[in-house]
Amino acid sequence: MQETTLTVNGKTHTVDVDPATPLLYVLRNDLGLRGPRFGCGLAQCGTCTVLMDGRPIRSCILPVSRTRGEITTLEGLPEDGKLHPVQQAWIEEQVPQCGFCQNGQILTAAALLSNSPNPSDEEIRRGMNPILCRCMTYYRIQSAVKRAATAMAGTSGEEDR
Amino acid sequence: MTRGRDPGNGRQAPDTIERALGHWEGSASRRDFLKTSGLFVFGLSAMGAAGAARQALGSQPAESGPYRDPDFLQLDSWLVVHEDGSATFYLGKTDGGQGIGTATRQMMCDELDLAFDRATVVMGRTDLTVDQGGSGGSDAIERDAMVGRRIAAEARRVLLEMASERFGVPVEELRVSEGVISLNGDPARTVTYGELVGGRRFDVALTGANINQAGGVASVKPVQDLKLVGQSIPRYDIPAKVDGSFEWAVDVRLPGMVHARNVRPPFAGATLTALDESSVRDMPGFLRVVRKGNYVAVVCEREEQAIEAAERLAVTWEKPATAPFPASDDLFEYLRSAEPEPGSERRGAAPVQGDPDGALASAATVVEAAYDVPFQGHTAIGPAHAVADPSDGQMTIYTNDMKPYSHRTGIAEFLGMPPEQVRVIWMEGPQLYGRTAADDAGFEAAYLAKELGRPVRVQWMRHEETAWDTKGPAFAIDLRGGLDADGNLVALDYQARIANYAHVGYNQARTVLIAQLMGLRPDQPSPGGARGPDDMYHVPNRRGETRAVRLPLVFETPLRTGNLRDPNGPQITFAAESFVDELAAAADADPVEFRLRLLRGATDDDEVFRRARSIAVVEAAARAYGWDARPSPGRLGDGPLLTGRGIAYTYRARTTIAVIAEVEVERETGRVRVPRMVCAHDCGLVINPDGLENTIQGNLLHGISRTLFEEVRFDGETVTSVDWRTHPTLTHRDAPERIDVVVVNGDPNPDRPDLRPYGAGEPSHKPVPAAIANAVHDATGVRMRRLPLRPERVLAELAAAGV
């Protein structure tokens, strides 16, 4: 056991765990978060995705001692109590079926759009491809990413004016 | 709402749906609601709402048991009105993400005359909700929600009688709107549902020989009077699933809870001969190794400790004397050459019609073909998991088992506890599709919790889930068809062999994996169901037979079978509807025209007009796709991408479906893509068009995945499909760019006031493999008769055909 300090959703936490513990178990079992979930433990499916300094990573294989910077989970995505445009688009498109994988889908889409605000269909497919969904909601996910891109473009346009 | 989706992604509904529903649905007010409806956030957790409601009634179930079964013949077991006039519906159902809760709430609110956002739903708690069996068979809306409608109608009737008594006027002089009853002649005089019965019991007995027939005196409303049914009301569970606040079964954390992981045999049928606990005893957090027979689990304080300890535990296994099964490459040869199990013939198959052998002997053309479908896994996105709490000598299991009632009785029997000391609390999990009809993890958690005397959480690892979950059975199907000189189908012979000898069943105490590993055995293995093709084709001489074949290892096998979405339907329909295409090609007929000719070959119909509704979906699919009538294959293209289209039709129970797939086949690689699909779907009365569309889309894509990617691989010792690389799945890259869902109401009397809803959770999954294989044939002239259509297999066939 060893004390590790990490910043999650804007708050600093110190946990006393084996430093090799994958971040996922610390987030779920020590910090009580529900967004990231165990899917494979192999970094293959993306169900456990969190953002580390804005970049999607697989928390199921990252040792907690190797986390750096700011961790953002699905719970931390809204700003000022307002859902992230990607989350809003997910509701408007009624994307989820069971919803188990949607944590990874939403966070990956948010990261995709922050890097590429107006992605082509091909960019969306390529960017989202690593996140698996066994209810196969891919079709609606891709629609929702486009919807979110449009919404975000509209928002930034207003700011420009 | 779902309006105004980017047309670039080809999302046609809901406009298409609304048009298609026009006969019975098209009132302006409903469409207006679509535009103006807000989102209804499910404010209370299911357990909070459930407890609060029952507390209000003064009948809060004892947290420490005994846990009595709610009486389905009491109105109060189903429906509670609160003091503020809102209501809670108690349903013995579970939801795998198809929106059953939302749709049932729509139906019940409609009958009750209550706004949708004034009701909540509690599902799948054996101590709180009546036993409707949980989920299965795509019958939640068709059967169980119809019971809900009757119950809600009865509650409305009783409330009107109460108001009648209060005002001293006949019921006929009262009207109801959104939970408020007023006098026709004096609209200022009102009373709310909350004022009439809020927080109190109805104390009204229902009638019905069984729970599916439960109801009261009141009749349900005619379809034309329903206001919420037919609207795309947003699902109440989605906001919390999107913001991370939703509480799943995986999230259950109890005081004193510890973590367990299983240690599985490395070889199928292996026997544990030695276990060295000292290999893990000194690890941090270590609590116990639990072993009985070949079942082994390690329990630790923390989850990551249990994972590591399960990996490190030194266990010696002895391989079985006989190979447990053939290698997956030899499976179909095995199925065709093995002696079928005595007594397994003709299970579920239709009786022989006419003289198939004689008609084949005298046919102008005889076509024969053999089709193979491998074992396919459920491979849920999250592995099996459960938490069991043994506090106070009772047992509470938190699980995503889709059949919580049999989970409860199965676990009670397995543990030797009286059922009233056991309760199961269903919470949502990663899909269901049959995998959780016999959820092993709940049994394991309960067993370990009893052993340790404290709450235990079990979760499987990925390799364990993919290798050891229940499998959709492999099929080897031989077909023969005879055409007369005019190209009419006069004889059809379907002979199937199915590797389905030890079906896991539904939470039976002696068939779940932990029980088998402990050496328990059912009285006899169950071969599961084995129906034949589902179609309304008129073929004068016809036979369909299915025989179960036993693999050497029957118990403790990772090739145990279980229901997998529309159990066996995709396999059977792949063969049957591919073969119909082969017959159409032999008759030089257009595949749509050939099918319509077979459907119109007779004019008799059944009580739900399956023939008329079959013709309607085939025609609707062809129209929506823009089908150009011509025989398949089309002219072979000369570019790198070969394109084609294929159709398949079937029905499941009372729902009829036709699917058209458009494919692109890469000549160089053999890779198949499905850029476009059309599904024409007739499930009668549609409750929530957008929810239906989402469900159908999922069915179609799941079907693409099983057609192109999924196969359980094994050598002669063990299953080698253990993760997403070795049991691949459809990903974003291969999702279609365009899906058109066409909702059809092919009832000869589409405006009938008693139009019923039929199931939609699985039917549209069923014809997908055949539609894709038929499209590949149309594109290339090559007939793929073995799933999945992996690139190397397609490439080999293209090479053999000189394409």
Q: Do residue A91 and residue B735 have CB atoms under 8 angstroms apart? A: no
457-486 of B, contacting A, C-beta below 8 A? 459, 461-462
The predicted-structure confidence for A39-68, as pLDDT tens digits, reads as follows 999 999 999 999 999 999 999 999 999 999
Class at the top of the CATH hierarchy for domain B328-377+470-506+519-548 = alpha beta
Pick the closest to residue B682 from B751, B754, B739, B756 (CA basis): B756
The answer to whether the CB of B201 falls within 8 A of the CB of B208 is no
Q: How far is B245 from chain A (nearest CA, A)?
A: 7
Q: Do residue A136 and residue B701 have CB atoms under 8 angstroms apart? A: yes
Q: In the predicted model, is pLDDT for residue B116 greater than 50?
A: yes
- Model confidence band, residue B53 (pLDDT cutoffs 50, 70, 90): very low
Element (H, E) at B796: helix B791-800
Q: In the predicted model, is pLDDT for residue B153 greater than 70?
A: yes
Q: Do residue B737 and residue A101 have CB atoms under 8 angstroms apart? A: no
Query: Residue B86 and residue B108: Cα distance in Å, rounded?
Result: 13
Answer with the one of A76, A109, A141 that is the final residue of a domain.
A76
Query: Residue B758 and residue A84: Cα distance in Å, rounded?
Result: 37
Query: Residue B308 and residue B403: Cα distance in Å, rounded?
Result: 32
Query: Residue B471 and residue B483: Cα distance in Å, rounded?
Result: 37
Query: Residue B622 and residue B744: Cα distance in Å, rounded?
Result: 13
Q: Do residue A137 and residue B695 have CB atoms under 8 angstroms apart? A: no
504-523 of B, contacting A, C-beta below 8 A? none
Query: Residue B773 and residue B792: Cα distance in Å, rounded?
Result: 15
Q: In the predicted model, is pLDDT for residue B19 greater than 60?
A: no
Chain B hits for A106, Cβ within 8 Å: 242
Interface test with B, best of A98, A112, A145 (most B CBs within 10 A): A98
Domain with A96, as residue range(s), is 85-160
Residue A155, pLDDT score: 73
Query: Residue B437 and residue B406: Cα distance in Å, rounded?
Result: 9
Q: Do residue B701 and residue A98 have CB atoms under 8 angstroms apart? A: no
Identity of the residue numbered A98: C
Residue ranges of the alpha helices (H) in B536-678?
Answer: 569-586, 591-599, 610-625
Pick the closest to residue B382 from A67, A94, A103 (CA basis): A103
CATH architecture of B42-247: 2-Layer Sandwich (3.30)
Chain A hits for B725, Cβ within 8 Å: 44
A1, A103, A140 member nearest B244 (Cβ):
A103
Interface test with A, best of B732, B738, B741, B764 (most A CBs within 10 A): B732
| Together in a domain, A69 and A90 | no
| Together in a domain, A72 and A97 | no
Q: Do residue B723 and residue A47 have CB atoms under 8 angstroms apart? A: no
Pick the closest to residue B502 from B524, B471, B530, B525 (CA basis): B525
| Together in a domain, A92 and A154 | yes
A83, A103, A135 member nearest B97 (Cβ):
A135
A35, A37, A143 member nearest B5 (Cβ):
A143
Average of per-residue pLDDT across A129-151: 97
B6, B242, B284 member nearest A18 (Cβ):
B284
φ, ψ dihedrals at B300, nearest 5° = -135, 165
Q: CB of B733 within 8 Å of any CB in chain A? A: yes
Q: Do residue A78 and residue B735 have CB atoms under 8 angstroms apart? A: no
The predicted-structure confidence for B458-485, as pLDDT tens digits, reads as follows 999 999 999 999 999 999 999 999 999 9
Chain B hits for A131, Cβ within 8 Å: 732
603-642 of B, contacting A, C-beta below 8 A? none
ipTM: 0.96
- For B486, the token pair is 């005019």
Query: Residue B469 and residue B686: Cα distance in Å, rounded?
Result: 33
- Model confidence band, residue A1 (pLDDT cutoffs 50, 70, 90): confident
Q: In the predicted model, is pLDDT for residue B583 greater than 60?
A: yes
Q: How far is A14 from chain B (nearest CA, A)?
A: 17
pTM metric for this prediction? 0.93
Between B266 and B51, the more confident residue is: B266
Q: Do residue B304 and residue A146 have CB atoms under 8 angstroms apart? A: no
238-267 of B, contacting A, C-beta below 8 A? 238-239, 241-248, 250-251, 253
The answer to whether the CB of B230 falls within 8 A of the CB of B692 is no
Judge: domain B569-711+724-800, CATH 3.90.420.10: no
The predicted-structure confidence for B191-212, as pLDDT tens digits, reads as follows 999 999 999 999 999 999 999 9
Chain B hits for A29, Cβ within 8 Å: 253, 302-303
Q: How far is B131 from chain A (nearest CA, A)?
A: 22
Q: CB of B740 within 8 Å of any CB in chain A? A: no
Q: Do residue A44 and residue B1 have CB atoms under 8 angstroms apart? A: no
Q: Do residue B462 and residue A83 have CB atoms under 8 angstroms apart? A: no
The strand order across the sheet containing B174-177 reads B174-177, B180-183, B190-192
Q: Which residue of A lies nearest to B431 if distances are taken between CA atoms?
A: A98
Q: CB of B381 within 8 Å of any CB in chain A? A: yes
Q: Do residue B724 and residue A132 have CB atoms under 8 angstroms apart? A: yes
Query: Residue A97 and residue A136: Cα distance in Å, rounded?
Result: 9
| Together in a domain, A55 and A103 | no
Q: CB of B37 within 8 Å of any CB in chain A? A: no
Class at the top of the CATH hierarchy for domain B251-321+379-468 = alpha beta
| Together in a domain, A95 and A122 | yes
Which ranges in chain B are annotated with CATH 3.30.365.10? 42-247, 251-321+379-468, 328-377+470-506+519-548, 569-711+724-800
DSSP A27: I
Supply the DSSP string of A98-153, one letter for each residue. S-TTHHHHHHHHHHHHHH-SS--HHHHHHHHTTS--SS--HHHHHHHHHHHHHHHH
Virtual CA dihedral for B94, B98, B100, B102, nearest 10 degrees?
130
Q: In the predicted model, is pLDDT for residue B6 greater than 60?
A: no
Residue B349, pLDDT score: 53
Distances (CA, A) of A32 to A26, A78, B396: 8, 18, 22
Answer with the one of A43, A76, A109 that is the final residue of a domain.
A76
Query: Residue B61 and residue B54: Cα distance in Å, rounded?
Result: 7
3 state SS of B4: coil
| Together in a domain, A141 and A115 | yes
Q: CB of B35 within 8 Å of any CB in chain A? A: no
Chain A hits for B691, Cβ within 8 Å: 94
Answer with the one of A76, A97, A125 that is the final residue of a domain.
A76
Element (H, E) at B155: helix B145-167
| Together in a domain, A71 and A89 | no
- Model confidence band, residue B5 (pLDDT cutoffs 50, 70, 90): very low
Q: How many CB pairs under 8 A join A and B?
A: 198
The answer to whether the CB of B686 falls within 8 A of the CB of B754 is no
The predicted-structure confidence for B587-608, as pLDDT tens digits, reads as follows 999 999 999 999 999 999 999 9
Give how many domains chain A has, as a whole number.
2
Q: In the predicted model, is pLDDT for residue B87 greater than 50?
A: yes
| % of chain B with per-residue pLDDT over 70 | 91
Average of per-residue pLDDT across B292-319: 98
Pick the closest to residue A56 from A124, A106, A98 (CA basis): A106
Length of chain B: 803
Q: In the predicted model, is pLDDT for residue A21 greater than 60?
A: yes
Pick the closest to residue B556 from B339, B310, B264, B340 (CA basis): B264
Task: Please give the sequence-ordered ranges of beta strands (E in DSSP) within A24-114, or none if there are none.
Answer: 49-52, 55-58, 70-72
Can you give the CATH number for the domain in which A64 is found? 3.10.20.30
A17, A91, A146 member nearest B239 (Cβ):
A91
The predicted-structure confidence for B666-689, as pLDDT tens digits, reads as follows 999 999 999 999 999 999 999 999
Q: How far is A161 from chain B (nearest CA, A)?
A: 26
**Average of per-residue pLDDT values in chain B:** 91
Q: Do residue B238 and residue A138 have CB atoms under 8 angstroms apart? A: no
